[in-house]
Amino acid sequence: MTRATAAAARTAQASFGALLAASLCHFLNDLMQSLFLAAYPILKTGLNLSFAQVGLLTLTYQATGSLLQPVIGLYTDRRPQPYSLPFGMAASLSGVLVVAFATHYLMLVGGAVLLGLGSSIFHPETSRLARLASGGRHGLAQSIFQIGGNSGTAVGPLLVAFVVLPHGRASLAWFSLAALLGVVVMTGLGRWYSRHLRARATTRSAPPPLARPRREVMQVMAVLLILIVSKYFYMASLTSYYTFYMMHHFGLDSDQAQLALFVFLAGMALGTMIGGPLGDRLGRKRVIWGSILGTLPFSLALPWASLPETVVLSGCIGLILASAFPSIIVYGQELMPGRVGMVSGLFFGLAFGMGGLAAALLGVVADYEGIDFVYRICAFLPALGLFAALLPDLDRPAATAAAPA
């Protein structure tokens, strides 16, 4: 009994270590992406870009991830590729270097493609790894995994404000060292993942859950698509154009606008950490519904708020809106059992795709109608959270904590 207890403790510790390593790599991966997005004011000024060209950059970067992630996830559901993980980080490293030394717009587009490719390899396989290491607490595992990504996204604007702006765009290349660290950690994580897969293959697994009717799956996926459109169209208005809005609407300097963006992104990081455990305890549907629709009062108030109120409102919006995503991922995995990689790739891909499409469309609107108009029309998007009422309850709150991964 003592040996069994010790073995269980070692297993739990190893799983928690894998989750932390996955979260660290998510931090480093999304830091690379965030540096790219936060550097838009520098890129716009240095290469004389229009808002539409800025939006097209986001579309290119996010559409690359959107199209590739579900395909990679579907393939790795059948043939897991543990050692593909460091290659994804290496693609992000290359993308940052290209952006740092780009001399014309097409080079920026190439850097955006490399960054999108890195994320498309990283997210499906690492999300499956997080589920394997969850010990049945799938929402908590997704939150630990995603908090790394959101923290990396939040830190990016600070690094741009305090490092890149004073030293110029070429200083982005310094952060390739962080990506190199990610390659090393991901290589070790790939070894853990490979051993875990071999160990599972030698044990008798429980029969897979029964698949739900195809019609039900398609109906639920349609509702989730509407919710993701609402969430990521609105989020794109903040991640891609919030610094421009703060500079135009309140007359802030670029570094001050980056600090304001950090408040929103920090709220997102906190919301991600809270959302997964809440989904384990209260049920995924309640968290998804409350997160997206609960953003509406804050988004409606934002275009009419003063500077201090805008900063506070943006932090609240980030916290509430981000809490949905861990539950959406786990909800989709439970809707389509045995398709963890495909579901993760699909939802991460939709997040990328919707954000990129929104950035491109909103950039055109901003060029013609002004940046203030963008925030007035986007304020109503969280009202689409009402569609969450159509989602079926797939889980039993707090009753599946000990279920197998």
Name the nearest CA neighbour of 21 among 91, 126, 117, 99. Answer: 126
In the numeric block, the tokens 């919030």 are attached to: 242
Q: Which residues contact 172 (CB under 8 A, 6 or more apart)?
A: 35, 39, 96, 99, 100, 164
CA distances from 51 to 18, 112, 359, 367, 371 (A): 41, 16, 9, 6, 10
Per residue in 301-322, pLDDT tens? 999 999 999 999 999 999 998 8
Distance, C-alpha 309 to centroid of its chain: 26
Q: For the whole prediction, is pTM greater than 0.85? A: no
Q: What is the pLDDT of residues 6-20, one digit of tens each?
A: 444 444 444 878 888
Question: Which pLDDT score is estimated for 400?
Answer: 41
CB 201 within 8 A of CB 323: no
pLDDT at 343: 77
The answer to whether 52 and 363 have CB atoms below 8 angstroms apart is: yes
224 burial level (CB within 10 Å; 0-12, 13-18, 19+):
buried
**177 alpha-carbon distance from chain centroid:** 22
pLDDT, position 59: 78
CA 298 to centroid of chain Cα atoms: 21
Residue 345 has a pLDDT of 74
What percent of the chain has a predicted confidence (pLDDT) above 70? 89
Average pLDDT value for the chain: 82
As a whole number of angstroms, the distance between CA 322 and CA 291 comes to 7
Give the per-residue pLDDT at 201: 60
Q: What pLDDT is stored for residue 299 in this prediction?
A: 94
Q: Which of 7-16, 60-69, 208-217, 391-400 has the lowest mean pLDDT?
A: 7-16
Instruction: Tell me how far CA of residue 129 lies from CA of 148, 150, 261, in angstroms.
Output: 15, 18, 31
Predicted confidence (pLDDT) per residue in 326-368, tens digit: 888 888 878 887 777 777 777 777 776 677 678 778 888 988 8
**How many angstroms separate the CA atoms of 73 and 339, rounded?**
8
Q: In the structure, what pLDDT confidence band is assigned to residue 200 with cuts at 50, 70 and 90?
A: low
Contact 72, 11 (CB under 8 A): no
Q: The tokens 């943006």 sit on which residue?
A: 314
In whole angstroms, how far apart are CA 209 and each of 206, 333, 336, 354, 405? Answer: 9, 11, 9, 31, 12
Q: What pLDDT score does 352 carry?
A: 66
In sequence order, what are the residues at sequence separation of 6 or more whose Cβ sits closer than 8 angstroms to the Cβ of residue 138?
A: 131, 276, 280, 330, 333, 405
Domain residue ranges of the chain, discontinuous segments joined by +? 14-201+213-390
Total Cβ atoms within 10 A of residue 7: 10
Asked if residue 184 lies in contact with residue 310, where contact means CB atoms within 8 angstroms, the answer is no
Q: pLDDT for 204-219, tens place per residue?
A: 555 555 567 778 888 8
* Superfamily of domain covering 14-201+213-390: MFS general substrate transporter like domains (1.20.1250.20)
Q: Are 53 and 173 in contact (CB under 8 A)?
A: no
Q: SS3 sequence, 142-189?
A: HHHHHHHHHHHHHHHHHHHHHHHHHHCHHHHHHHHHHHHHHHHHHHHH
161 within 8 A of 279, measured Cβ to Cβ: no
Residue from 319, 312, 314 nearest 375 by CA: 314
Q: What is the pLDDT, as a whole number, of residue 131? A: 80
Q: CA–CA separation, 146 vs 144, rounded Å?
A: 6
Q: Is the pLDDT of residue 3 over 60?
A: no
pLDDT at 67: 78
| Residues of the chain by 3-state class (helix, strand, coil), percent to 5 | 85, 0, 15
Q: How far apart are CA 281 and CA 382, in angstroms?
A: 24
Residue 377 has pLDDT above 70, yes or no: yes
The predicted structure's pLDDT at residue 361:
86
Read off the pLDDT band of 402 (50, 70, 90). very low
> Residue 208 has what DSSP assignment?
P
Q: What is the number of residues in the chain? A: 405
Specify the amino acid at residue 292: I
Distance (Å, whole) CA 92 – CA 45: 24
pLDDT in tens, 144-178: 888 888 788 778 878 888 888 888 888 888 988 98
> Minimum mean pLDDT among 259-268, 276-285, 342-351: which range?
342-351
Over residues 81-126, the pLDDT tens digits come to 778 889 889 999 999 999 999 888 999 999 999 998 988 888 888 8
CA distance 356 to 354: 5
Angle at the Cα of 263 (from 345 to 69), degrees rounded to 5?
A: 10
**Interval 388-396 mean pLDDT:** 77
